[in-house]
Amino acid sequence: MTEQPGAKWNHEPTDFDQIGKLPRDSAAPAAVLGSLNITAAAADPGLLDLPWHIRLEDWPAANLAALPRGISRHIVRFAHLDGSVIAIKETSEHVARHEYHMLRKLARLDVPCVEPVAVITGRTTPEGAPLDPVLVTRHLKFSLPYRALFSQKLRRDTLTRLIDAQALLLVRLHLVGFYWGDVSLSNTLFRRDAGAFAAYLVDAETGELYPDLSTGQREYDLEIARVNIAGELMDLLEGGLIEDKVDPVATSELIMESYRRLWAELTEKESFELEDRWRVGARIRRLNELGFDVEEYAIKTTPDGSTIQLQPKVVDAGHHQRRLLRLTGIDAQENQARRLLNDMDSFRADSGTTVDEEISAHNWVSSIFEPIVRAIPRELGGKLEPAEVVHEVLEHRWYKSKDEERNVPLAEAVQSYVDNILRYRRDEDAIMLSTDTETIKMLEGGVLPDAAFED
């Protein structure tokens, strides 16, 4: 490809980088582009079509996507890019580059976080005045900031599920040696996960990656989370967005309990008598139920051979996700995967346990999963991601069968779910990608027009 004046692309080479000198769109003259310096993991010519010569807060509505966003100390906007949506944050060059590289490292470690797209510096107005650099990340489909997860008011059980998801994310970050430094609900995105929530890191500008974290570092991160969550809940209470009976301070303490319970299960040593060696397998099964795999563990016996000490050595999250992906090719959240695997196992039991697991999984996909997904009307396809829809249909079928004391056929359950539940859900794929200025302002403040999300 030939290099064009006005925009410079660069990258730090890795085994999966793709980058090059890209021709500029003919509608974007060099006088407008200025001398942009774009650092990106993959070349995307569409970046050159965006109005980088304008302050982010003044971008025209035609370029913006109306999606709810969390509270941020920076100017943040969502924009359209080649059929997808990106988040753009104005900040300093040092912060933008640091966060970009932190997000890339976390992605390689398979930690739930947003995908970094680019760092863009050298922005100027047409008159030559300098503009702040920006960090560009990919918008996480079907995700929402916590402030968007309310209807009339955010219920206490929903808050508990959000905080549990935040605690699990913090544990996963600490296991890989990441110190966040600014843990909060505002710096997290949430996706529905079979009745619970999955949390994704969205702001890593204060984070640092170490070989291991000390107890003090982990505890300080946890204290930051407790204080920030209490403040965020007080803000919601003041705005009448959560139930009056919710105690912000007491509720924020839940993250301490949830985190410590999970951390202990994953990392603490366990001692037991030699004849109770079955507890080795039981501990591993408990960790699997929590969604973690044990790749290695250490067993030590006492000199007299009377007791065993067990300690997991390497713990990876995503146990059910990996099994579902291996058997079916379906990529789902952890709780969604657990729910779908349970139905798949029941399907296999009904077919006879002599059927090979992989063959039975293939039959389940063609008999259960795919018919449900195909039955969802096209206009409702953006309501929820497919795995969540299948989970909800299976739940709906179970309750309907119980209430009516009969085995409700799958097709009837799907139709009932579409007519009575899905049709009234707000579209979580895009809330909407509107260019209406008032809608954009409402969504950016966390306010949802008209009907609200169910929680």
- Give dist(CA 288, CA 402) in Å, integer: 30
Give the residue with greater pLDDT, 284 vs 235.
235
Give the SS3 label for residue 218.
helix
H/E stretch holding 442 reads helix 437-444
Give 262's contacts (C-beta < 8 A, 6+ positions apart).
Answer: 167, 168, 171, 290
pLDDT(290) > 50: yes
Q: Taking each helix axis from N to C terminus, what angle separates 215-238 and 156-175, rounded to the nearest 10 degrees?
A: 160
Backbone phi, psi, residue 220, to 5°: -70, -40
**What confidence category does residue 454 fall into, taking pLDDT thresholds of 50, 70 and 90?**
very low
pLDDT(16) > 80: no
Instruction: Supply 110's token pair.
Output: 């398979």
Instruction: Using a pLDDT cut of 90, give the percent of the chain over it.
Output: 36
Give the total residue count for the chain: 455
| CA dist list (Å): 13 to 16, 41, 243 | 8, 9, 51
Summary mean pLDDT of the chain? 81
Q: Which pLDDT score is estimated for 34?
A: 61
**What confidence category does residue 439 fall into, taking pLDDT thresholds of 50, 70 and 90?**
very low
Give pTM, 2 decimals.
0.74
pLDDT(136) > 90: yes
H/E stretch holding 179 reads strand 178-179
DSSP conformational letter for 192: E
Q: Which pLDDT score is estimated for 156?
A: 74
Average pLDDT of span 239-259: 88
Return the closest-CA partner of residue 414 out of 372, 381, 379, 447: 372
pLDDT(116) > 50: yes
In 34-158, the DSSP E strands lie at 36-40, 76-81, 84-90, 115-121, 134-138, 143-145
Average pLDDT of span 151-170: 80
H/E stretch holding 164 reads helix 156-175
CB under 8 A, 24+ apart: contacts of 194-197: 194/333, 194/335, 194/336, 194/338, 194/339, 194/388, 194/391, 195/335, 195/391, 195/395, 196/161, 196/164, 196/165, 196/335, 197/161, 197/162, 197/164, 197/165
Determine which of 96-105, 181-190, 252-261, 323-332 has the lowest per-residue pLDDT on average: 323-332
Return the closest-CA partner of residue 56 out of 140, 131, 137: 131
Instruction: Using a pLDDT cut of 70, give the percent of the chain over it.
Output: 81
Q: Which pLDDT score is estimated for 449?
A: 39
pLDDT(51) > 50: yes
Determine which of 124-128, 266-270, 293-297, 411-415 has the lowest per-residue pLDDT on average: 293-297
- Give dist(CA 417, CA 402) in Å, integer: 15
Q: Which pLDDT score is estimated for 246?
A: 84
**What confidence category does residue 241 fall into, taking pLDDT thresholds of 50, 70 and 90?**
confident
pLDDT(23) > 50: no
Average pLDDT of span 2-19: 45
Average pLDDT of span 67-86: 80
> Beta strands 270-273 and 307-317: pairing type?
antiparallel
pLDDT(310) > 50: yes
- Give dist(CA 102, CA 203) in Å, integer: 10
Give the SS3 label for residue 392.
helix
pLDDT(33) > 80: no
Q: Which pLDDT score is estimated for 351?
A: 74
pLDDT(27) > 50: no
Q: Are 229 and 250 in contact (CB under 8 A)?
A: no
pLDDT(7) > 70: no
**What confidence category does residue 153 fall into, taking pLDDT thresholds of 50, 70 and 90?**
low
Return the closest-CA partner of residue 161 out of 146, 148, 175: 146
- Give dist(CA 17, CA 43) in Å, integer: 9
